[in-house]
Chain A
Amino acid sequence: MLVNLTLIFIAAAITHNFVLTYFLGICPFIGVSKKIEQAAGMGAATTFVMTLAATVTWVIYHFILVRFNLPFLEYASFIIVIASLVQIVEMFIRKTSPVLYRALGIYLPLITTNCAILGLTLFMVLRDYKFLESVIFGLGAGSGFTLALIIMAGIREELECCDVPRPLQGAGITLIIAGILALSFMGFGGLISR
């Protein structure tokens, strides 16, 4: 049981990282990875939404959709859940940390449309996870997202001091780095086969 949960966590966070393996959630990955503090804030917010989304959607899927034989409503109901959770997180951050709220800017409401989160809930259904497994899966996916964002922000902070050729400045070099990072994450691939 514990081994299984650990495996799910490591798979979601590292070997099958949402950003670097599935290429989900690239928008905030490029957009909010300029500073480590911002990246950590965004990662924490996304992890929170992911974990809660996995928990709540599992409950809704199994106790409402499966019970009344309505699995075709999974997209609509999952999006309602995600959107509401993002709203709650947004209000919470705005209340507690106006600085972080301003730094995250438009990317905070955009967690709603972050494909990583909808992807997470759909994977959860597809792989038929149990309740605890789903929660751990959400937590792992969020940690993996945070990890990718922080690594990227670290590299980009170093990059500030580098002489990047003009045509590659900005998004260009960022996408190249993302590609190299994804390649290096492939090295974890043998860790778990799934």
Chain B
Amino acid sequence: MSNAVLISIISMAGLGLFFATLLAVINQKLKVEEDPLIERIMEALPGVNCGACGFASCHQYAEAIVNDKVTIMSCRAGGESVSGRLSEILGVKAGEAIKELAFVHCGADESKRKKKASYTGIKSCVAAHNILGGEILCEYGCLGYGDCVTACPFAAIKMVNGLPRIDREKCTACGRCVIACPRNLISVKRMEQGGSIYVACKNQSKGAETRKVCPVGCIACGICQKLTNGVFYVENNLARTHNERLSEIPDKEEIMRKCPVKCITK
């Protein structure tokens, strides 16, 4: 009996040793010269190969950082600490990087919503949205049952007065809430250095109809378009923004003040 155990151990160890030696020899022969920078970046990355950065593995992401100069901010598993270390290695200032955040494109809280019926079904946005659009009149607005809160893996969303509020410290722009919202109210955008500005409305009906269903809905008056020289623009009865040109706006407060329905927020 002990003999069988001994023989199994010896034969397995022998096999292991044989293949280990073989691999070591072949590794030396087929060695690929690699940028030592890639190795150092690999050490800084979490190494879990989660794929959230859009590359199949951490190693591929490290290669892309060095060879194709892709951004060092893509690692979502590692977050800021990893991009901080990467910026040390590469000598790029971490301050230059721009944070991405989720923004909610609806400004009608519980007190401002106009209702057409009383909804007593399952307390979930998807369910309410599928049953004739829930109890609120606006076909585009937030239903307020917090599907995004449940979807957020970082506990960065809280419901305040029936509207999701995003904690900008905790938000990692993972985009789960974007998928969870049945009305596509949440989008992930770059956080501009001088503070963000966006349209908190998704209503695409004509101004007069929007007025009937919501006091803070965008009526597509076009004032923001005139004030900002086209950084804000109106399309399909809704004001939108050219995100990459947001820094051209000198006075963001002014636009927020001049919007007649106050649907532009920071």
Contacts and interface: CB of A to CB of B under 8 A. Distances in A.
B26 A105 contact: no
A131 B82 CA distance: 52
Interface in A36-94: 60, 64-65, 68-70, 73, 76-77, 80-81, 84, 87-88, 91-92, 94
Interface of B: 4, 7-8, 11-12, 15-16, 19, 22-23, 26-27, 30-32, 49, 56-57, 60
B22 A84 contact: yes
Given A81-B19, A106-B49, A106-B57, A88 B26 contact: yes
Contact of B12 (A76, A94, A105, A106): A76
Contacts of B49: 106
A92 B7 contact: no
A102 interface: yes
B175 to A, nearest CB: 17
B19 A69 contact: no
B7 A70 contact: yes
Size range of the chain A interface in the assembly: 20 to 34
Interface of A: 60, 64-65, 68-70, 73, 76-77, 80-81, 84, 87-88, 91-92, 94-95, 98, 102, 105-106
A60 B15 contact: yes
Contacts of B57: 105-106
Majority DSSP secondary structure for residues of A touching B: helix
B11 A68 contact: yes
Contacts of B23: 84, 87-88
B19 A84 contact: yes
Contacts of A94: 30, 32
Contact of A95 (B7, B16, B22, B30): B30
8 contacts: A68-B8, A70-B8, A73-B11, A76-B12, A77-B15, A81-B19, A94-B32, A105-B56
Contacts of A73: 8, 11-12
Contacts of A102: 60
A41 B165 CA distance: 49
Nearest to A92: B30
A95 B32 contact: yes
B11 A91 contact: no
The 9 closest A-B pairs by CB, nearest first: A105-B56, A84-B19, A95-B30, A91-B30, A106-B56, A68-B7, A64-B11, A70-B8, A88-B26
Nearest to A104: B56
Given A73-B11, A91-B26, A105-B57, 19 more contacts: A60-B15, A69-B4, A70-B7, A70-B11, A73-B12, A77-B11, A77-B12, A80-B15, A80-B19, A81-B15, A81-B19, A84-B19, A87-B23, A88-B23, A88-B26, A94-B32, A95-B30, A95-B32, A106-B56
